[in-house]
Structures are given as structure tokens and as C-alpha cells.
Amino acid sequence: MMTTSSIPPSPAIVDDRVRADVVIVGAGVAGLYAAARLPDHLEVVVVDKGVPGGDSGSSPWAQGGLAVALGPDDSPAVHAADTRLAGDGLCDPVAVDVLTREAPGHVRQLLRMGAQFDRVAGELDSDDPGHLDLAREGGQRVPRSVHRADATGAELVRVLRAAAAPKVSRLAGIAVGLAQDDARRVTGLWVLVEGRVVAVEARAVLLATGGCGGLFAATTNPAHATADGVALALAAGAAVRDLEFVQFHPTGLAVAGTWRFLLTEALRGAGATLHDAQGNRFLLERHPDAELAPRHVVAKAILDQHDGTAWLDATHLSEQQFASEFPTVLAGARRYGFDLVNERVPVTPAAHYQVGGVRTDLDGRTSLHGLYAAGEVASTGVHGANRMAGNSLSEALVFGARAVDALVAELPSRQGDLGPAPALASRPSVATDGLRDRLRSAMLTGAGPVRTEAGLATVAAALDTMVGDLDLPAAVPDEVELWHALRVSRLLVRAARLRTESRGGHWRDDHPASDDAWADVHLEHVATRRPGDG
């Protein structure tokens, strides 16, 4: 939740235009860390959707921690090996080495900025990361996650909002298109603000828009996580890749509704176990690390149980330990009528993380001049076919910082021409709730954690029909969001149909094994249409 002191001022809008040096789209960890590192003399505008409370993204909800090699039995090399193993053969080893080598320095920077991470009992506050308590999460062979109880994302956002607020202005609205000059260089952003389209002229644009959980009828993400950044990049002609890889977190609380309350993996790191309906632990035979196997292994094992549901048992933890280490999940489960202290609770996988995204190099550059990307929206090569627990926050920091460094070094001397604004329908707005429900249901059923050609073909046909129902959005945020979601969903399904194997988070029941022919193969897409083409 934003406090009054952390809400930046709004920029001056003159004749439906805003001028800036840099525009950052998204206000999660990647975007805020980038904003905080930008030089003070630059005019920076942060665009977010203006959802009440300011928490339209996933960063404030992150429970676990950020994976950093700080422990006595850990090293960047061990961290890298674990990351590559979770990535199931598709990680870029150079990107992984960058992440694991540079992450410790960013933890030190966060401590200097005032981050309050949990410490080893008896240790006093200091900037020494060696005093930090480390949790173990899935795919980590040793404890590696720096955390703040089970609300690490909220702590990071608190610190970074305070650091970024004095340096930026905030425009509340939804991006509807990237501006480009005749050379296709990105020169700004078109933003829908209270029913009118505002042009934000900028010398560079950083996408930090988060992921795609809102495309599915079961997700740990906010409903507004609708893959906007990927849709914006596609429409502008930037390359995107690996969209078939979506991570489904194994332990979403099995309750009715779209949102699945997340039961952090750190619970399993603290000894919680998973059981079938008869009370048997079923992961012991699946993987040497049992409940702490990589997430795609645990998710598939749960889905193989009756009704795709398992039971998480954390009753070995005392009420006092829950209150000090896991207050978020304890209170959240109780809101839904479950008591983690005294009973096993039902869990099922839910869409959690967009592994693919806008293709970038190691410095956040996309395939378009003037456009950078960082955080979940970006495909840096770190995660491969599945993300190791704890690497999302670390990646947001490491590559958010690298993107800013490259952006500043390459900043042109002036803004370019904006080019045509994206086309919007002039008709009255339509009710989108029914369409959105159809999209989410179709995506979970046909393109969820278990896929087949028949299921993917069915969802592809359903999406084609929905696009006919909303061929062009009106100037209404819900329609723009749904338009973005539909376009990205269609491309995700196309990629999933092409990859006729099972690898990482992409499981094909009709092709249940990995195929050497797909080793090191990344599916990349570049659209040919320009903004304004309809």
C-alpha cells in the first residue's frame, strides 16, 4: 500500500502531452529500482495503472525471498548450477552467471537503502549480508533466499518507493501503445488517462510491467497482470520469445474463485510436506529433493493426484513460529477458513510467473532502439524453461540496474517524433467481464499446467472467436487490458502447440518426454504490424 510520502507528484499534462527524459512502465521492484538508480537531473515519469492502493502488480505480494549466494555452503557457482538445473536445458549460461555473480552487491545496496531483512538470531542490524537469515526454497540445494518474514516483496517495494518517489513523477493510466518515429526508434508512450489518450514524449522507455497470471482462471497474481508489456512490444515490432513457458506455483490454496492465495515455498523449506488424499507423501518417489524439487516437478506431481489437489502439512510448526516467520500465510489461510497450525490444507497449482517475455540482451536492450525491459516482462535467458524459486526478485534487481546503466549511456540528445497514435474504437464501451471470464477459463483448461494438441486447438479456436468479439478496444481500461490479454494468449497458445515436447514448466501430456531436437531451441516471434495499423 502506498503511503502519502511515497506517492510522487503527477506530471504536467499540456495539450494531452507530457515531456520526459525517461518513462518507466510499471511500478514493481524492477521499475522502482531502476527509477531509484537514475541520475537526479533526468525527468522521469513512472506509469502505473492507478489501481486503488497502487498494488496492481505482483511485487508487493511476493512472499518468499530473493535468491543470493551468501551462505557458507553457497557460492555464485552453486547458485548458477541450481538455476540451470531448474531451467531444464534452456538457460543462457552467461545470463545466469551475471545474475548469480552480481546479486550479492544489490543486497548490500538494499541494506544501505534501509531494507529490513530477517537476521540470524542475536545479530544486530548492519550492512553485512553475512548476518542475514536465509530460507530454503524449491530448487535450492542450500538455504539461499534473503527474506523479510513471508512478505519480502512488500518490504522491497516499501524501500524502493521511498527511494524513487523524490526522483519521479507518476502518471496513473494504462499504456495503449509505444510511440515510434519513422526509423522505428521508440520515442515515448501513449497512455489512456481518464478516458483520453495522453502522449508521453521520452528519450527512452523501460518496460517493467510484470507478468501474465491474469490470463488464467487460477492465479497467484493480481487480476491486472495481463501481459501488457509483451502486448505493447509485439505491437511495436519487438521480438518476444519463450511464451509457452509459464510457471504454475505448486501450492496455491485450493479455494473457489480466480485468485489462489499463495502458500510460500519457504513453508516447505521449513519442513512442511505434501500428502495425497490418503495421507501419503507422494514426492519422495518423484525427486531426491521431494517437496523442494523444482516447481514444475512438484506442480506436475500434485496434478497427478485426485482432482489435481494435494494437502500441505505444516502442523509441525508452532503458532509462535508461524507468527514470527509466516504471519502472512497464517492470516491469509485463516481468512479462507483454514488453520495451518492445526490442520493440513488443500493446495493446487496456479499460474504464477511469466518465464518468457520480451527478448533482451544482458543490459535490458530489446530489439528496438530506445526500448528496454526488465523484470518479469523480460526474457533475459536466466530462467530457461522454468524459474528457480527466489530468482525473480534477484533478476529484477540485477537486470533492472543493468538496463538503467545502458539506457543512461545510450540516451539520445532529444526526443524523436511520436508517429501515429494507436487506433481505438469510437463505439460505446462493451461489457468485458464475460469475455474475460471466457478467456481465463479457456486458457486454464487448454493452456494451463497440462496441455495437449487437442486442448490447445480448442482454446486457439475460442480465442479467435473472442478476438472477433473485441477486434479493437475502445478508450476504456478494461477493454485495453482484455485486448492485450487476447493478443498475448493467442501467441502463447501458438508457441505451446509448436513445442511438441515436455520441458520445464511446459508439460504436454501427448508428448510427455523432453526431445533432444528441442534442446537449446527458443521460439521467437516478431510482429510486422506498426502502431496505428489496427
CA angle at 201 for the pair 200 and 205, rounded to the nearest 5°: 85
User: Is 440 in the active site?
Assistant: no
The pTM for the full model equals 0.94
Extended beta strands in 303-344, E state: 310-313
Cα separation, 85 vs 176, in Å, equals 38
Query: How many C-beta neighbours within 10 Å does residue 139 have?
Result: 27
Place of cell 521480438: 239
Cα separation, 430 vs 461, in Å, equals 22
Cα 68 to its chain centre, rounded Å, is 18
Cα separation, 28 vs 166, in Å, equals 16
Cα separation, 363 vs 407, in Å, equals 9
Q: Which helix (H) or strand (E) holds 331?
A: helix 327-335
- In degrees and rounded to multiples of 5, residue 192 shows phi and psi of -85, 115
Q: What is the pLDDT along the chain (534 residues), one digit of tens a residue?
A: 344 456 788 898 999 999 999 999 999 999 999 999 999 999 999 999 976 555 557 888 888 899 999 999 999 999 999 999 999 999 999 999 999 999 999 999 999 999 999 998 755 555 667 689 999 998 999 999 999 998 999 999 999 999 999 999 999 999 999 999 999 999 999 999 999 999 999 999 999 999 999 999 999 999 899 999 999 999 999 999 999 999 999 999 999 888 889 999 889 999 999 999 999 999 999 999 999 998 889 999 999 998 889 999 999 999 999 999 999 999 999 999 999 999 999 999 999 999 999 999 999 999 999 999 999 999 999 999 999 999 999 999 999 999 999 999 999 988 889 999 999 998 888 889 999 999 999 999 999 999 999 999 999 999 999 998 888 999 999 999 999 999 999 999 999 999 999 999 999 999 999 999 999 999 999 976 543 343
Alpha helices in 336-390 (DSSP H): none
Contacts of 398 (CB under 8 A, 6+ apart): 98, 99, 102, 103, 106
> Which of 37, 144, 170, 295 is labelled catalytic?
295
Place of cell 548490500: 108
Let me know how long the chain is: 534
- DSSP summary character for residue 129: G
Extended beta strands in 202-326, E state: 204-207, 239-241, 246-253, 273-275, 310-313
Domains and CATH numbers, the chain: 4-61+155-246+353-410 (3.50.50.60), 66-148 (no CATH), 249-351 (3.90.700.10), 433-526 (1.20.58.100)
